Amino acid sequence: MSVPEYGRAFGLWREAARTEWAAYTRHAFVEGLKDGTLPRECFLHYLVQDYVFLVHFSRAWALAVVKSETLEEMKSAAATVDGLVNHEMRLHVGICEEAGIPEADLYSASESTANLTYTRYVMDAGLSGDFADLMAALAPCVMGYGEIGARLAGEATADTPYRDWIETYAADDYQQLCRDVGGMIDRALERRIGTDFAAAPRWAQLSERFATATRLEVDFWQMGWDRS
């Protein structure tokens, strides 16, 4: 199956980090979601941590509003904050409630080291850098789940109990969001760095940020797998 396309910068970053990208999008945790063999306890451990992750991710997207230079960037970042805090976190709340974990416990859950490392890395990318640095650190999260969802929707076993999770990210509206964010990132880079942004001196540093965030996604799956 061919992978979905989410923009020029993303395609180049992904290709430059292909080893890390494969470790992320084909992690044992992901394969367990696909064939249904992922232990429920691992999934719930991941989901509680992911709720906390989304809280801090929303803060990072809010920083993107602050670092925006155009109304398009501001609208995209503000819509993502709204989507995250008012919609995306519902999937987590619903599944956890069914498992007897109330929302108050999610918000107060203590953060795993993998969670802390990843979210604060992204926040620092935005605080110490500009909008482009922040987008390079945010892109693996947004696009990685889009790619995983699209692949698993076609490959998952019919009876995997993780179908709802898969459908969330395989859905047309989520795939469209990945393309929209990819287009917004391309225009943000063209504006700040130039049309030929991949030839610019700072391109290597942006690619490095993307690769680092991708490695931190691998560690996040591993945290769920190990229940650490």
Ligand X SMILES: Cc1ncc(C[n+]2csc(CCO)c2C)c(N)n1
Choose, by CB under 6 A, the member of 13, 53, 131, 162 that binds ligand X. Answer: 53
The 75-94 contact track toward ligand X, x by CB under 6 A, reads -----x--xx---x------
Choose, by CB under 6 A, the member of 142, 156, 206, 211 that binds ligand X. Answer: 142
Candidate ranges 12-20, 47-55, 152-160, 206-214; the one touching ligand X (CB under 6 A): 47-55
Residue environment code for 44-77, b if the CB has 16+ CB neighbours within 10 A, otherwise e: bbbbbbbbbbbbbbbbbbbbbeebbeeeebeebb
141 lies in the binding site for ligand X (CB under 6 A): yes
Candidate ranges 9-17, 31-39, 50-58, 198-206; the one touching ligand X (CB under 6 A): 50-58
16 lies in the binding site for ligand X (CB under 6 A): no
57 lies in the binding site for ligand X (CB under 6 A): yes
50 lies in the binding site for ligand X (CB under 6 A): yes
220 lies in the binding site for ligand X (CB under 6 A): yes
Rounded Cα gap, residues 194 and 161, in angstroms:
46
**# of chain residues touching ligand X (CB under 6 A):** 14
Residue 202 sits at the vertex; the CA angle it makes with 198 and 207, to the nearest 5 degrees, is 65
206 lies in the binding site for ligand X (CB under 6 A): no
Helices (H) and strands (E) in the chain, counts: 12, 0
21 lies in the binding site for ligand X (CB under 6 A): no
DSSP per position, 192-218? HH-TTGGGSTTHHHHHHHHHHHHHHHH
**Residue number with CB closer to ligand X (129 or 140):** 140
CA-CA distances (angstroms) from residue 133 to 48, 61, 196, 210, 213? 28, 12, 17, 9, 11
Residue 47 one-letter amino acid: L
6 lies in the binding site for ligand X (CB under 6 A): no
Interface residues with ligand X (CB under 6 A) are 50, 53-54, 57, 80, 83-84, 88, 141-142, 145, 177, 217, 220
